[in-house]
A and B are shown apart, each in its own frame.
Chain A
Amino acid sequence: MSAPAMPEKVAGISAVKFEKFGLRHYLICLKGVVLRECLRFLHQRERFISSLVRPLIWLFIFAAGFRQVLGVSIIPPYKTYVLYEVYITPGLCGMILLFSGMQSSLSMVYDREMGNMRTLLVSPFPRWFLLVSKMLAGVSVSIAQVYAFLIVAWFWGVKAPPIGYLMVLPALFLSGMMLCALGMLLSSMIKQLENFAGIMNFIIFPGYFASPALYPLWRIQEASPLLHKICLANPFTYAVELIRFAFYGQIEWLSLGVVAGCTVLFLAAAIIAYDPSRGLVTRKQDTGGNG
């Protein structure tokens, strides 16, 4: 069905000749969404600082305190005994992605009725593309936070081979997308997760502690076989291991497979759940509009 000819007037606002969207237009849109998120992040220094404080507290205080309590034997990818702060650094990278991803995905769901998401969602590009672009933008900012953390950790003595700093990038990207999509899926489907406290209590803390972020899986298995099984069923476990191995220039194929598979699965499910005719949005409408 074609639209009637548009009126052509003086300043040309109405002289509409729409070309079909091609790859170039999609890239312009993606670039715009990512750039905006980065600009916002640069303008909110307190957000940047607070995002760094949390993992640094774990690194400086928690790791120092537990160094003597928790021994870490030689397990891949480590070739020697490592200090506890060295062990938990990949987990703390995962924690940054976890917090940041959950926060941004929650805001995508909760702020749907607010300005920023509204302007995004009335774009003529397909909704799935807009949501993926928004997630990519959020993950880009998370990755910048992780690298800032790794720089501080480097000065603290947590150093990886130079190739590790490069190889960890795709691992961070994939893990970030998986966590962002998971956050959006869960907060779209479960009413109790519509606020950050719910996300913290039901996703971030269980997800973080039931993983090898703070202690190796073999230690967990010794302590509780059931908890070990839970850890193995936790996608965050594989994200942490993917980051840990990449940080030392290696690929942990099982983790890569699980994280990649979960990313695709969660992303597809999150986009479907975000559809206005389903999931949370339908319920949110129950509260009524204002006009």
Chain B
Amino acid sequence: MQHVRTSGPGDQSAALDVAGVSHSYGSKRALNDVSFSIAPATFTVLLGLNGAGKTTLFSLISHLYDTRRGSIRIFGHDVSRASGEALRRVGIVFQARTLDLDLSVHQNLSYHASLHGIGAGEARQRIAALLDIVDMPGRQHDKARSLSGGQMRRIEIARALLHRPSLLLLDEATVGLDIQSRAGILATIRKLVETEGIGVLWATHLIDEVEDGDHVVVLRQGELVAKGKVADVIRTSGATSIRDAFSRLSRIEAAGIAELSP
């Protein structure tokens, strides 16, 4: 199976390089020898059903968990040994909502700016610009509690971009959102890849979020079962479409296919 990008694991120019990563929760193996790398300015979809290991992988990439087996590098910086340098280059949108509902949009974003050493004046300018980018202009003073689920996600995306990362990780960012909100957020992220050159790792179990030109990494029960461009994954799995390929690779029974769509 070919890699997502032409270069292999250990490539210093990769936006993200995951090499031989395994992780266990006690005796339960959550990830087993996972290797892939993604190039800068590409949109890569991390596909997997619930329990496939996506969130565990995100926790390792974001250094919430220590990588005990294998290595993870972000633009050449080892997440375990140089976590600060690595984390400065990555923006993260977690699966669970992480906005403080009691605070305003501006207060939430300012807090994040301070966590990256960005002063108040500069943060104010960046927040205004980013709220435009995520289509929430002038909403600085809205209470987070007053926002819809989709709007909260947009604010979380703005927050993840506040420190100008070159790699964006989004873990099931559209879960629980209506079709319109999902499409809007996906379009915003894809535009960022095009216009800003940001590399994106988009974790999802929703197959309709994959487009033909995307790169995909497919996880099943902690094992990497496919990686490459959509067309390559379809071909190597002997399927007729990416939906079919994902079904085969995930060994989904007929009754479970509905889960691939929202």
Interface residues of A, Cβ cutoff 8 Å to B: 1-4, 6-16, 18, 21, 24-26, 28-29, 31-33, 35-36, 39-40, 43-44, 114-116, 118-126, 130, 275-277, 285-291
Contact = CB atoms under 8 A, between A and B. Distances in A.
Nearest to A115: B98
Contact of B195 (A9, A28, A29, A39): A9
B103 interface: yes
Interface string B89-108: 10010111111101100010
A10 B196 contact: yes
A43 B51 contact: no
Q: Name the residue in B96, B103, B117, B203 with the highest tally of chain A Cβ atoms < 10 Å from its Cβ.
A: B117
Which 6 residue pairs across A and B have the least CB separation, nearest first?
A32-B114, A291-B55, A25-B117, A115-B98, A7-B197, A3-B75
A126 B77 CA distance: 15
Given A7-B40, A7-B166, A291-B203, 18 more contacts: A1-B12, A3-B85, A14-B164, A14-B197, A16-B164, A21-B117, A24-B119, A31-B114, A32-B113, A36-B100, A118-B64, A119-B94, A122-B62, A123-B116, A275-B66, A285-B65, A289-B55, A291-B95
7 contacts: A3-B89, A11-B133, A28-B118, A33-B114, A119-B112, A288-B30, A291-B54
Interface string B10-35: 00110000000000011010100000
B199 to A, nearest CB: 9
B231 interface: no
Nearest to B171: A291
A125 B115 contact: yes
Given A29-B117, A122-B63, A4 B12 contact: yes
Contacts of B84: 21, 124-126
Given A122-B87, A276-B66, A36 B107 contact: yes
B17 to A, nearest CB: 12
A21 to B, nearest CB: 6
Contacts of A40: 100, 102-103
A18 B64 contact: no
B25 A286 contact: yes
Interface string B32-48: 00000000110000001
A4 B39 CA distance: 12
Contact of B51 (A116, A130, A287, A291): A291
A36 B111 contact: yes
A112 to B, nearest CB: 8
B224 interface: no
**B contacts with A: majority SS:** loop
A7 B103 contact: no
B248 interface: no
Contacts of A15: 164
A120 B94 CA distance: 12
A4 B12 CA distance: 8
Nearest to B80: A277
B217 interface: no
B64 A276 contact: yes
B76 interface: yes
Contacts of A277: 66, 68
A9 to B, nearest CB: 5
A3 B13 CA distance: 8
Contact of B25 (A12, A21, A288): A288
A16 B89 contact: yes
A1 B71 CA distance: 15
B202 interface: no
A114 B25 contact: no
Nearest to A34: B114
B129 interface: yes
Given A28-B118, A31-B114, A123-B116, A291 B58 contact: yes
A41 to B, nearest CB: 10
B34 to A, nearest CB: 13
A187 to B, nearest CB: 18
A39 B107 CA distance: 9
A291 to B, nearest CB: 3
A232 B253 CA distance: 66
